[in-house]
Amino acid sequence: MTHSNSMPPGLYLGIDVGSTTVKVVITDGAGRLLDYDYRYGRGQPARALLDAWRDLARRRDLTRVAAVGLTGSGGELLAPLLGARRVNELVAQTHALQIHVPQARTVIEMGGQDSKLLRLEPDGDRLRLADFAMNDLCAAGTGSFLEQQAERLGLSLAEFSALALQARKPARVAGRCAVFAKSDLVHLQQQGLPLPDLVAGLCLAVARNLRATLGGGRPFQPPIVFQGGVARNAGMVWAFEQVLKLEPDALLVPPHCTLMAALGAAYVARVEPAPSFRGLEPLAEFAAARRVRPSSLPQLPRRPARAAAPLPPAPNPSLCSARTTVRAPASDCSPDPAREGEAVWLGIDVGSVSTKAAAVDGEGRLLAGCYLSTAGQPLAVARQARDRVLAQVGDSVPVLGLGVTGSGRHLVGKRLAADLVCNEISAQARAARAWDPQADTVFEIGGQDSKYIALREGAIADQVLNKACAAGTGAFLEEQAGRLNLPVEEMGRLALTAAAPADLGERCTVFMESDLVHHQQQGVALPDLAAGLSYAVARNYLTRVVHN
């Protein structure tokens, strides 16, 4: 913070209302930073801004405010209430850089729920924004991602930041999705990897993700500036130095790296015509009257539940995780008993989250089946699934063939000497055709991926896979069920009782989780939350996978 004994008359405020935080800066007529406030919005940006303003008013004479510039994702809503000038985020960032880091040529900006890459070039004595890229649909390259991973590891953000610098051999962790990163973390923790190596691996994953998604294969021209809330994380500064192959301290982090957009907004309000400041009354009235808007989502249609009879316990339960379940198919596809002396064929689907096995006869009748958690042990659980199905059909029944599919098909197929190893799309299409010869569409949502298959006269006409985002997968539902302290098996039943399903969006697990927490804080009923999660998965799948 800077101070001046001789201040030109009038104060100029810059406000950055982000998705997770609200920043307010006070500058004088010469553009010098006099004071600031930084706080979390917690789903109520108007209330947070009002509280920030009142706290600043205890330290500064805000009756001298001459103009206000407002930027950020919440700017459009709040600017008219204050009589503030609305400033585009990229314009605000460029103006702040021109004043505080005029030598900048590439800027990495990482906030709570989005990230940006700005490419700048000189234009006389000013900076010009030559190009930019933004990511606001996925949390994998944002502060929310790191915050969630730190929470999962039982670390504060300060501890997370410091531990990354202690790593000796950073782990290889998925940076594409927060939910998939959790799966990697659990697996690596089970292998006993040191915590610093896990944290450093996460930081490197985020840096690689941003370079790939926003960099577009183009070089990052130095000097490179790193700003936004994530720039305060020493682990991320180190990670970008590694990924971009920079010398130590070559990545420039401005002293007020979290306030750059707010500083730029204040600058624009000072040098360009701005509306007349209206005072706090309209904002206070708005904050007081603000309520959670009722959900616009309709109730889920109620359908009678189909009973599922449990199968006998697994032969070796120790191979399964605590939540392993073995379920029979629904009542309309219940297994038929094997006929005396009848031969069977076995199929095993080794997925990232679950492993399924089935036995069929020569007519394609389902004779036995089981459903187990893969639990990070694909080969062991596949063997268990095979043995379980064989125990159901009887040891004396001859097995004429074994087919394996799923993400673990190559490993399991080789070790179990499978007669056929095929991809999941082919297996799903073949089963759908056997189940209903008229089927023309297959929706498949698994633990960590989802698929869409179009059939034409029984042949695969089109296919789409989504493996980069968990928002439309079972892993997301399982994760949120745990957050709600709700058995995942109960989620569907509870969702069907919802009166007003919560609208949780569709774009990213981390962002939907933030919405979920906000709705919880507002007292939204558990059935409405469960139904909102079901809607979120369905909408994500239809939007991201099926497309048109």
Q: Provide the 10 A C-beta neighbour count for residue 187.
A: 14
> Do 412 and 453 belong to one domain?
no
SS percent in the chain: helix, strand, coil, step 5: 40, 20, 40
Q: Is residue 113 part of a domain?
A: no
Q: Is residue 301 part of a domain?
A: no
Q: What's the domain range around 192? A: 119-252
Residue type at position 404: V
Domain final residue, candidates 206, 224, 252: 252
Question: How high is the pLDDT of residue 309?
Answer: 36
pLDDT at 333 over 60: no
List pLDDT tens digits, range 347-374. 999 987 789 999 999 888 899 999 998 8
Question: How high is the pLDDT of residue 317?
Answer: 31
pLDDT-wise least confident of 91-95, 108-112, 308-312: 308-312
pLDDT at 492 over 70: yes
Give how far Cα 186 sits from Cα of 52, 377, 422, 443, Å: 39, 13, 28, 29
Question: How high is the pLDDT of residue 137?
Answer: 56
Q: At what angle do helices 157-164 and 143-152 cross, to 10 degrees?
A: 90
List pLDDT tens digits, range 497-543. 988 888 877 666 666 766 776 676 566 788 888 888 888 888 878 87
Q: Is residue 73 part of a domain?
A: yes
Question: How high is the pLDDT of residue 176?
Answer: 62
Question: How high is the pLDDT of residue 4?
Answer: 39
Q: Which of 57-66, 107-116, 129-138, 327-336 has the highest mean pLDDT?
A: 57-66
Q: Is residue 462 part of a domain?
A: yes
What's the whole-number average pLDDT of the chain? 82
> Do 347 and 450 belong to one domain?
no
Question: How high is the pLDDT of residue 303?
Answer: 57
Question: How high is the pLDDT of residue 279?
Answer: 81
> Do 411 and 470 belong to one domain?
no
> Do 337 and 218 belong to one domain?
no
Domain final residue, candidates 366, 391, 422: 422
Q: Which of 288-292, 337-341, 469-473, 480-484 has the highest mean pLDDT?
A: 480-484
Q: Is residue 232 part of a domain?
A: yes
Q: Is residue 225 part of a domain?
A: yes
> Do 404 and 319 belong to one domain?
yes
> Do 227 and 317 belong to one domain?
no
Assign 131 a pLDDT band (cuts: 50, 70, 90). Answer: very high
CATH of the domain at 60: 3.30.420.40
pLDDT-wise least confident of 10-19, 286-295, 433-442: 286-295
pLDDT-wise least confident of 103-107, 171-175, 236-240: 171-175
Q: Is residue 525 part of a domain?
A: yes
| Mean pLDDT in residue range 171-194 | 71
List pLDDT tens digits, range 411-467. 999 999 999 999 999 999 999 988 888 999 999 887 777 888 999 988 899 988 775
> Do 85 and 188 belong to one domain?
no
Question: How high is the pLDDT of residue 319?
Answer: 28
The DSSP code for 544 is I
Give how far Cα 222 sits from Cα of 246, 250, 384, 386, Å: 9, 9, 55, 57
pLDDT at 259 over 80: yes
Question: How high is the pLDDT of residue 277?
Answer: 80
Q: Measured between alpha carbons, how far is 36 from 13 in angstroms, rounded to an integer?
A: 9
Cα-only R_g, the chain: 28
Q: Is residue 540 part of a domain?
A: yes
Q: DSSP characters for 248-303?
A: TT-EE--TTTTSHHHHHHHHHHHHS--PPP--SHHHHHHHHH--PPPP-PPPPPP-
Count: domains in the chain: 4
CATH of the domain at 369: 3.30.420.300
Q: What is the pTM of this model?
A: 0.64
| Mean pLDDT in residue range 131-157 | 77
> Do 235 and 275 belong to one domain?
no
pLDDT-wise least confident of 157-166, 181-190, 253-262, 408-417: 181-190
Question: How high is the pLDDT of residue 350?
Answer: 93
Q: Measured between alpha carbons, how far is 153 from 141 in angstroms, rounded to an integer?
A: 18
| Mean pLDDT in residue range 274-303 | 70
Burial class for 2, CB neighbours closer than 10 Å (0-12, 13-18, 19+): exposed
| Mean pLDDT in residue range 219-236 | 94
> Do 123 and 248 belong to one domain?
yes
Pinpoint the alpha helices (H) of 290-423: 378-393, 409-415
Question: How high is the pLDDT of residue 327?
Answer: 37
Structure-token pair, residue 221 = 């021209």
> Do 282 and 338 belong to one domain?
no
Q: Which residues of 280-303 are buried (b: 16+ CB within 10 A; e: fewer)?
A: beebbebbeeeeeeebebebbeee
Q: Measured between alpha carbons, how far is 174 from 205 in angstroms, rounded to an integer?
A: 6
Question: How high is the pLDDT of residue 83?
Answer: 87
The DSSP code for 545 is I
List pLDDT tens digits, range 52-97. 999 999 999 998 999 999 998 777 778 888 889 999 999 999 999 9
Question: How high is the pLDDT of residue 228?
Answer: 92
| Mean pLDDT in residue range 152-160 | 86
Domain final residue, candidates 394, 422, 450: 422
Assign 341 a pLDDT band (cuts: 50, 70, 90). Answer: low
> Do 276 and 370 belong to one domain?
no
> Do 135 and 244 belong to one domain?
yes
